[in-house]
Amino acid sequence: MSYNRACKCGHWVTHHTAMLGCINCGCKKFEEHPMPAKPIPVVLTPEHSLWREFCDRLAGPEACNFQGEGEDVTWTCAGGRNQDFSKAILQTMDGIDVEGTLLYFSEHGGHCDCEVLFNVDRDLGEP
């Protein structure tokens, strides 16, 4: 189904629906628009502008939940090849190729969630 018309309120409608009026607001004034381009999903790497946000969320309470300092640091991670926290966060980030990013993490030593922070994040030379 092709949405290429927008009513004066900005609702996208099909050509057929436009003849009947907007089902959202009832208006019957439409403008032709090119289809909005869908961004091609990209792999999230340390160079990406969303990398810091991703790492902060992965280290925070919604995921690994790092607590303490020095030798007293604790965190939550299933270990092995479990990247469930990473996957859940990536799925909320627009324009990110989730499966491609998880593969990238594994190829750079991020086999589980905490290893993404310990190994992949270190690719930038950050402590």
Residues 6+ apart with CB under 8 A from 49: none
pTM of the model: 0.68
Taking only the tens place, the pLDDT of each residue in 42-54 is: 999 999 999 999 9
Taking only the tens place, the pLDDT of each residue in 13-28 is: 565 555 566 666 666 6
**If you search the block for the tokens 């004034």, which residue do you land on?**
29
* Residue 127 to residue 124: CA distance in whole angstroms: 9
Please tell me the predicted confidence (pLDDT) of residue 86: 98
The first and second tokens of residue 8, run together, are 């004066």
Q: How many CA atoms does the CB half-sphere of 63 hold within 13 Å? A: 24
Taking only the tens place, the pLDDT of each residue in 95-106 is: 999 999 999 999
First-to-last C-alpha distance (Å) of the chain:
49
**Percent of the chain whose pLDDT exceeds 70:** 65
